[in-house]
Amino acid sequence: MDVLIVDDEKPLCEALAALLAKEGFSCSFETDAGRAVERARQARVLLLDLKMPGVDGFELLDAAVKALRRTPVVMLTAHGTVKTAVEAMKRGAFDFITKPPDRAELAAALRKALREADAARGVSELYYDMPKDVVFRDAKSRTLIDALRRAAASDLPILLEGETGVGKEVFAKLAHQWSPRAKGPFVKINCGGVPETLFESEFFGYEKGAFTGANASKPGRVELAAGGTLFLDEIGELPAGAQAKLLQFLQDRTFERVGGLRTLKADVRVVAATNRDLEADAKKGAYRKDLVFRMAGVRLRVPPLRERPEDVAALAGHFLEAFAARYGRDVRFEAGAIEALAAHAWPGNVRELEHAIEKAVAMSTGATIAASELVPGGAPTDGDTSLRAGRQASDRERIAKALEETSGNRTQAAKLLGITRRALQIKLKELGIRG
């Protein structure tokens, strides 16, 4: 159930439930305040009337906020004043709507509250026996994970492409977990951190006496990964000489240790990740075309976080819970914080979001975290002018297309884009779009 409506007037409850059903919500209602809090445990959002016979609405709000720590409460009353609204928000209400409610306004408030509810619970799509630290909700992530699941069942190499910080290593580990090699080792090597002179010894190992200081034989990463998965991170940073040696290994999985005479074989599944356009590099002669071909058995693009707005809410809730436990804080997001997070561009992707929430939790002094503590000024922090301009051009094109398809209806356009109406308004203002 999405929403539990609590109001002493049954006809109003029925009317609200019918209205919200047309907006896509699953609803139930309760006219007895005494049963409201217990029943609300099965709902994602509580829509609560502030004025009920024999019940102090603020007392009921206090009880609901205390008992339902991760369930947003939207107040509904015909006695709405600024003072009442402020008091309700201070006591923990997520939003405040006056009766009779405007259908669009109420639906928007509840959708925003649902995002908050999901974020607070760290909701993820728990199919395929997902690990607890893999959190997602966005349709693009579901598409990627479905493709990854199919690719993992094969023994083809997988090339994960995407910007820095999007979580490519997380997906590499999923590919290993879902593969027939799951019981074998998962061995990572950062190709960008290995000097060309040390490539062979790091990848393939060395024999005792192979060079000064080689006092004992040592296996390389490919041997350590035998029977499992070898994850080559930042494969695009591999020096030219090392590219040739890696290609030779990938062709037949054979190698020799440095200083060794025996040809060894390692049965490994290779997963690689890069934030570069390897095909473009190959066309410029900066990367081996045959290595790109060999690596790209299955190519999967991990979308940047700005293209996965639904993931922002889920990840935010996951990180909030984790860091609150780490730092011993009992905190939650203020109303509007999730919306601000979803509207932010996050040039540093998941890594930047995680850092922002850790900092906000660690530095928090109260029970709530405001949007301003997470996204300073509500603006992206991308210092790369060309990247920012390219992203804005892409956003402008997507938004213009959505507005055109919905004849300028911002609410419907926001739905098409997978963001809230408020987030769309923020982007329109940021991009200087009138529509």
pLDDT tens track for 160-214: 999 999 999 999 999 999 999 999 999 999 988 888 888 888 899 888 877 877 8
What is the rounded CA–CA span in Å between residue 364 and residue 254?
Answer: 54
Q: Which residue has the higher pLDDT, 434 or 107?
A: 107
CATH topology of domain 308-431: Helicase, Ruva Protein; domain 3 (1.10.8)
What is the token pair recorded at 182? 């799951």
Alpha helices in 217-336, H assignment, sequence order: 221-224, 240-252, 278-283, 289-295, 309-327
Whether 153-301 shares its CATH topology with 308-431 is answered no
Q: Phi, psi (5° rounding) for residue 129?
A: 50, 60
Percent of the chain at pLDDT exceeding 90? 24
pTM for this predicted structure: 0.60
pLDDT, position 125 = 39
DSSP state of 376: G
Per-residue pLDDT tens digits for 350-390: 999 999 999 999 988 888 888 888 986 543 334 434 434 55
What is the pLDDT of the chain when averaged over all its residues? 80
The label of the residue with tokens 């009353």 reads 77
pLDDT, position 82 = 61
What is the token pair recorded at 179? 């593969």
SS3 350: helix
- Please, what CATH class does the domain formed by 3-121 belong to? alpha beta
Instruction: Indicate the domain borders of the chain.
Output: 3-121, 153-301, 308-431
The label of the residue with tokens 């892409």 reads 394
With contact defined as beta carbons under 8 Å apart, do 191 and 238 qualify? yes
CATH topology of domain 153-301: Rossmann fold (3.40.50)
Per-residue pLDDT tens digits for 21-48: 777 777 788 777 777 777 777 777 878 7
